[in-house]
Copies of this chain bind each other. A is one copy, B any other.
Amino acid sequence: MKSKNIRIHSPLDMHLHLREGEMLNLVAPLSSESFAGAMIMPNLNEPVITEELLDKYRQDVTNALVHPFTPYMTLFFRDDYTYDFLKSIKDKILAIKLYPAGITTNSEYGVGDIDDIMEVLEYMSNLGIVLSVHGESNGFVLDRESNFMPIYEKIASMFPDLKIVMEHITTERALNILEQYDNLYATVTLHHLMITLDDLAGGMLHPHLFCKPIAKRPEDRDALLRAALEANPKLMFGSDSAPHPKSEKESCGCAAGIFTAPIALQALATLFERHHSLNKLQAFVSDNARRIYEIEPEPKIITLKKEKFIVPDRYGEVIPMFAGESLEWSIA
């Protein structure tokens, strides 16, 4: 009997960390095996804040690729961007990524006071540039996303023409806010559809499941999963795949981030099939993003077949999610 196949048209990863140097050369080819393109995060050691840095990073990414793949580039938000600068660079970027200061990897250079950003948001709204946001406060780790919701609401109300993407949402509350504003959209990761704080710390402590925002309660995970399985039209897949060397994960101060890029599509197919929602996978991993961002990637078909995929123990020095475990679907 022939094994079952499904064909995904131009799958997109709308939140991806490719890093730089050796790590970039390791992980970019892996993303290009599974996806037609991805939105590339700008939080490098030297954040992407000028046209020169942007051009250089796009070139570095392109050089690292093996398969056809569109890197949708982003700028790192700064409150001193001028209208003329944004106008000149707008065709080179898909979004500008806002990091409230000090929240996640390399976001020390982010924005502290939300009132300082209003002028740049006005420019972006006028120019039609999407605002992508790591929406967390500096509060208690479980409350950070919820604490940030009033800021999303404030920005969404003040700039009704600005498209705002709430990145890697983790709570039921974020889903509720998402529904209340026409100009709010969101990405959700594979891991936040699957794990809760129990998986990180309910039994032994599992550093490879440590991520920011931290995985939350079962009710939150269940709500996110329901929204993904119905391919909620305002929700896009964004892996937030974040590679760190094994030595930085299994140590005294473990870095946040889960590496999922090369296993995400196989795991999503497994998850969606288990919940009888395979027919929604195309919208969740591609169509919603194309409509929201108004993009049309080069056509690329990824065929998934119903055949066991044993996740490698490691890719180079990076341990992936589900290392050594078996998924139901593989890439043909």
Inter-chain CA distance A253–B200, complex, in Å, is 10
A223 CB to nearest B CB, Å: 15
A85 at the interface (CB under 8 A from B): no
A238 at the interface (CB under 8 A from B): no
User: Using Cβ atoms and an 8 Å threshold, which residues of chain B touch A196?
Assistant: 140
User: Using Cβ atoms and an 8 Å threshold, which residues of chain B touch A200?
Assistant: 201
User: Using Cβ atoms and an 8 Å threshold, which residues of chain B touch A253?
Assistant: 203-206
Which label, helix, strand, loop or mixed, suits the secondary structure of the A interface? loop
B204 x A255 contact (CB < 8 A) = yes
B207 x A141 contact (CB < 8 A) = no
A146 CB to nearest B CB, Å: 13
B141 x A254 contact (CB < 8 A) = no
User: Using Cβ atoms and an 8 Å threshold, which residues of chain B touch A201?
Assistant: 141, 200-201, 210, 214
User: Using Cβ atoms and an 8 Å threshold, which residues of chain B touch A217?
Assistant: 140, 142
A208 CB to nearest B CB, Å: 7
Inter-chain CA distance A248–B224, complex, in Å, is 34
Inter-chain CA distance A201–B253, complex, in Å, is 10
B141 x A252 contact (CB < 8 A) = no
B140 x A252 contact (CB < 8 A) = no
Closest to A219 in B: B140
B254 x A207 contact (CB < 8 A) = yes
Inter-chain CA distance A202–B254, complex, in Å, is 11
User: Using Cβ atoms and an 8 Å threshold, which residues of chain B touch A214?
Assistant: 201
A218 at the interface (CB under 8 A from B): yes
Inter-chain CA distance A207–B214, complex, in Å, is 15
A39 CB to nearest B CB, Å: 26
A331 CB to nearest B CB, Å: 26
**What are 8 sample pairs from A and B whose C-beta atoms fall under 8 A apart?**
A140-B197, A141-B202, A201-B210, A205-B256, A207-B207, A207-B252, A250-B251, A250-B252
On A, residues with C-beta under 8 Å from B are 140-142, 196-198, 200-208, 210, 214, 217-218, 250-256
